[in-house]
A and B are shown apart, each in its own frame.
Chain A
Amino acid sequence: MTNYYGMEIDWENEVHKRFSQCQDITVEKLGNQMTIFFFRHLLDYNLFQSFVTSFFEDADRQDGLERLIQVWNPITGHNQEHILGQFVEKVLRGEVGGVYNGRLYTIAVGHSTSRVIMPSDRESVITGPHDAFTEDWATNLSLIRRRIQSSHLKVIKHNIGSEYPIDIFMLYIQDTAEQEIVDEAIKRIERIQVNQALDGNVLAKRLDDAPFSVFPQWLGTERPDVVADQLKQGKVVIVTSNSPTVIAAPAHFFDFFAVSGDAYERWHFSVFIRILRIFVFILSLMLSAFYVAITTYHYQFIPSPLLQTMIQARYRVPFSPMIEALMIEGVVELLREAGARLPSKIAQTIGIVGGLVIGQAIVQAGLVSDVLIVAVAASALSSFIVPNYTMETSMRLFRFLNVILAGYLGYFGIFLFVTLFVTHLCHIKTLSKEYIMLSRFPRFTFLSYRKQPRMSAYLWNKLPSKSKR
């Protein structure tokens, strides 16, 4: 008990008071002069022990303590509350806190064991790196730093917790990211104050330009190679502590249809698959609705042989095509949700039971026609090809809306839907930048600006040498 800016405070007692009824805290004495406080599960205890022991190996207790304290970080502050607050915060973050000679010290001694780096279940790829982010921000940052070994990669730490610290880290590559984007992101982050631990996806919702829009405006990913690619494109990335989801913006509409694995394939296939994804996105939105519109109002569209088959399939069904489609779409959603929540082995069984047994039974019971099963199954299958889960969920909602409009208004409803859908897409901004840009389409298709064919360059090379001069 000595001075701290002239204050006479029993720090040990104060710290004890702060951690009263925190039975997971460990309090140990080093000699009689130093008391240390730490949470064993927040740090590497073995490392800590060997670290402390090393100071006492060739010295007596007092000398060892003196040497030890020299490498600790003293806590400074302008009043008692401030000093104690800092000390408690650091101990809660996994550092070891010590009270020695009336002063407070802390030292970081490694992290507690966290989940090991594993492949992402959400974004699996066949070729390419398989490592994915974990809940530990330090691991996540190291995964990014390993890919971008440059001092231009800047990291800004920000505490957005209003009651207790919640750290987020904003990353960008200096001179690659537009300063306007960086400033805008910082401005938005500074506005956020939360009092609960949050995931990257939740943070993205708080940073959205259009919070009421169904479309995601920040690209959430668990893959470090995707993040590295986004950073190289001049985007801003946010790593949230305790979340494996890292978010990037400005996210363009086409980014949600890109998979990092595409870059590792032969370009022919990559180009094909990316165009297919866009086509399939449209198909998934439209197929069920078209079925409803055609069977309700525009059956003249269907060639006669197919019409006969459809009539035979539908004559037992007592519901209108719209109700029929909504029912089966609902069943598909139930199966999908059940599959997502259950353990993987049971989920497979549910998929088989749902797909075969319920599908077959529902047709035999005369509740829906088998042609609709084909349409909805194709539509559901198409939606799985969209790589981004958030975008896929948005699409699922729109499918229901489109079916209802098609059921009431036929083609007219579908085309109204298309117009409003496109208008909405064109209106959204992401970090005050355009969400959909047609100029991004070649970059999306050909994976980079360099790889896209340049007609002008081609023609230039074909020109006779005279005209070149």
Chain B
Amino acid sequence: MNPHLKSFGLTTLMFLVIRGVTFFTLPSLVTRIYGTNSWILIPAYVLVTLGGMALLIKGMEKHHQQSIFEVVHLHFPPFIAKLFSCLLILNFLAVGLTIINEYISMFQFTVDSSVRISRVAIFLIIAVLIVASHGLYTMTKTSIILFLISFWIIFIEILLFNDFSLTRLTPFFFRGGQFNWKGALAITYSFLGFEMLMVMSPFISKTTKAFRAVTYSYLMLCVYFTMYIILSQGLVSILQIPKIRFITLRLYGASRFPTVEYITDFLFFFFIFSAIMSSALYIWAANEGMLKLVRRKHSRTNYVLIGAVFIIIMALNISSRTWQAVSFWVGFVETCIVVICILLLLVLPYKQKVSHSSDLSANSSTSKDPNEEMAKEVP
């Protein structure tokens, strides 16, 4: 049996998951929507997100760390519970897939335009599924090491970035922006990730202060995002930033290393850790939901099926514009789900899980996922 998650592991995992891949586009998006010196809004977004997370954790505590799938199955008739679970599962899978697609698009943009997305995606999908199939505990441990491997990159921007100009920042706030709700929502999606706690809660140690641990992740990300936006706005004119899709990569291009020539693509690949962990966690969460839906629990079969579906979708000839639209709507549904789930957790009364010995024995004979065993012990 695996131990439960501890604070540091949770902090690093959530840091990688929330960072995901959207932060490559975040400076352009924020500048386009809010205009000059819009970096100041990042702490505000973080505060709103922390408020949402506080409510979510309150709800989780009320339900004695039951996962959202358990809560739904305990309170609603099977048909509604299954329908709602399916919605969550589909959304989680869609988020996982859009992260993979987004990263591969950037890969194509950064390295070589002749890269075939579908072919490279297969490797990434396989890697994500392997990581996800190892379970939450392994993912958390892995995230600690990957975090330590990749965290130093922030210091490159601080120490080796010479093209920053204060005059480009201007003394004005929120000038030149073209505000629209769609853009503002798209920025909100960059801060999502905490909703995974709804599924992870049974696996978190009772002594772990989840809110504090994830808040540390958000604070680090707040510094991270704010710094990148300030640097972007100090590197490129306010008029140009919205036209540059992956402005963060431009920042890396502007960093000068004393011994090596061009490190943009090298640094870019360090963010594959975020992409993989982020996608893997969403897919793992979807698998957890799938395991609740079916009587015979075959975790590996689920992952193989998910992989096959992902590869087929990636092989379809879908334009990047369509993918962008899909990403937006997936984010929108995700935001709605977060709001609904928080309300459900706060409104619904706590109900104790009725243990079915026959179910448990069936699970133990078919399932090989160590996390499942762990979940069984949770009240």
A residues engaging B (CB < 8 A)?
Answer: 297-298, 300-304, 409-416, 418-420, 422-423, 425-427, 434, 436, 438
Tell whether B329 is near chain A: CB-to-CB under 8 Å: no
Nearest CB in chain A: distance from B195 CB, A: 23
A interface: dominant SS? helix
Please tell me if the beta carbons of A422 and B142 are within 8 angstroms of each other in the complex. Answer: yes
Nearest CB in chain A: distance from B376 CB, A: 18
Complex-state Cα separation, A412 to B121, whole angstroms: 11
Return chain A residues, CB-CB under 8 Å to B112.
Answer: 297
Please tell me if the beta carbons of A415 and B270 are within 8 angstroms of each other in the complex. Answer: yes
Return chain A residues, CB-CB under 8 Å to B107.
Answer: 412
Please tell me if the beta carbons of A423 and B134 are within 8 angstroms of each other in the complex. Answer: yes
Once A301-B263, A415-B272 are accepted as A-B contacts, the answer to whether A423 and B131 lie under 8 Å apart by CB is yes
User: Nearest CB to that of B141 among chain A residues?
Assistant: A426
Q: Within the complex, which residue of B127, B134, B261 is in contact with A304, where a contact is CB–CB below 8 Å?
A: B261
Please tell me if the beta carbons of A302 and B261 are within 8 angstroms of each other in the complex. Answer: yes
Return chain B residues, CB-CB under 8 Å to A438.
Answer: 144-145
Please tell me if the beta carbons of A415 and B131 are within 8 angstroms of each other in the complex. Answer: no
4 closest residue pairs by CB, A with B = A426-B141, A300-B262, A415-B269, A427-B138
Complex-state Cα separation, A301 to B111, whole angstroms: 12
Please tell me if the beta carbons of B272 and A422 are within 8 angstroms of each other in the complex. Answer: no
Tell whether B130 is near chain A: CB-to-CB under 8 Å: yes
Complex-state Cα separation, A423 to B146, whole angstroms: 9
Nearest CB in chain B: distance from A184 CB, A: 13
Tell whether B305 is near chain A: CB-to-CB under 8 Å: no
Question: Considering the complex, which residues of chain B in the window 82-125 have a beta carbon less than 8 Å from any beta carbon of chain A?
Answer: 107, 111-112, 120, 123-124
Please tell me if the beta carbons of A409 and B123 are within 8 angstroms of each other in the complex. Answer: yes
Complex-state Cα separation, A76 to B74, whole angstroms: 66
A-B interface pairs (CB < 8 A), number: 77
Question: Considering the complex, which residues of chain B in the window 246-274 have a beta carbon less than 8 Å from any beta carbon of chain A?
Answer: 259-263, 265-266, 269-270, 272-273
Can you pick out 19 interface pairs between chain A and chain B where the beta carbons lie within 8 Å of each other?
Answer: A301-B261, A301-B265, A302-B261, A303-B259, A411-B111, A411-B266, A411-B269, A415-B269, A415-B272, A419-B142, A419-B146, A419-B273, A420-B131, A423-B130, A423-B131, A425-B145, A426-B138, A426-B145, A427-B138
Complex-state Cα separation, A349 to B284, whole angstroms: 55
Please tell me if the beta carbons of B127 and A420 are within 8 angstroms of each other in the complex. Answer: yes
Tell whether B48 is near chain A: CB-to-CB under 8 Å: no
Nearest CB in chain B: distance from A170 CB, A: 24
Instruction: Please count how many residues in chain B sit with their CB below 8 Å of the partner chain's CB atoms.
Output: 30
Q: Within the complex, which residue of A300, A409, A422 is in contact with B261, where a contact is CB–CB below 8 Å?
A: A300
Once A419-B273, A436-B141 are accepted as A-B contacts, the answer to whether A301 and B134 lie under 8 Å apart by CB is no
Excluding A422-B149, A423-B131, A426-B142, 15 further A-B contacts by CB distance (< 8 Å) are A298-B266, A300-B261, A300-B262, A301-B260, A301-B263, A303-B259, A304-B261, A411-B265, A412-B269, A418-B149, A419-B146, A420-B130, A420-B131, A423-B130, A426-B141
Please tell me if the beta carbons of A303 and B145 are within 8 angstroms of each other in the complex. Answer: no
Return chain B residues, CB-CB under 8 Å to A422.
Answer: 142, 145-146, 149
Return chain B residues, CB-CB under 8 Å to A304.
Answer: 261
Please tell me if the beta carbons of B120 and A409 are within 8 angstroms of each other in the complex. Answer: yes
B interface: dominant SS? helix
Please tell me if the beta carbons of A419 and B276 are within 8 angstroms of each other in the complex. Answer: yes
Nearest CB in chain A: distance from B99 CB, A: 14
Complex-state Cα separation, A411 to B107, whole angstroms: 11
Quick one: which of A303, A411, A425 has the most chain B CB within 10 A? A411
Return chain B residues, CB-CB under 8 Å to A300.
Answer: 261-262, 265
Please tell me if the beta carbons of A423 and B138 are within 8 angstroms of each other in the complex. Answer: yes
Complex-state Cα separation, A298 to B263, whole angstroms: 9
Please tell me if the beta carbons of A416 and B111 are within 8 angstroms of each other in the complex. Answer: no
Return chain A residues, CB-CB under 8 Å to B144.
Answer: 438
Please tell me if the beta carbons of B272 and A416 are within 8 angstroms of each other in the complex. Answer: yes
Please tell me if the beta carbons of B272 and A419 are within 8 angstroms of each other in the complex. Answer: yes
Return chain A residues, CB-CB under 8 Å to B131.
Answer: 419-420, 423
User: Nearest CB to that of A303 among chain B residues?
Assistant: B261
Return chain A residues, CB-CB under 8 Å to B138.
Answer: 423, 426-427
Return chain A residues, CB-CB under 8 Å to B273.
Answer: 415, 419
Complex-state Cα separation, A412 to B276, whole angstroms: 12
Question: Considering the complex, which residues of chain B in the window 167-192 have a beta carbon less than 8 Å from any beta carbon of chain A?
Answer: none
Complex-state Cα separation, A418 to B107, whole angstroms: 17
User: Nearest CB to that of A282 among chain B residues?
Assistant: B149
Quick one: which of A302, A413, A414, A438 has the most chain B CB within 10 A? A438
Complex-state Cα separation, A301 to B257, whole angstroms: 10
Complex-state Cα separation, A427 to B141, whole angstroms: 8
Complex-state Cα separation, A407 to B262, whole angstroms: 20
Return chain B residues, CB-CB under 8 Å to A409.
Answer: 120, 123
Question: Considering the complex, which residues of chain B in the window 125-139 have a beta carbon less than 8 Å from any beta carbon of chain A?
Answer: 127, 130-131, 134, 138-139
Return chain A residues, CB-CB under 8 Å to B130.
Answer: 420, 423
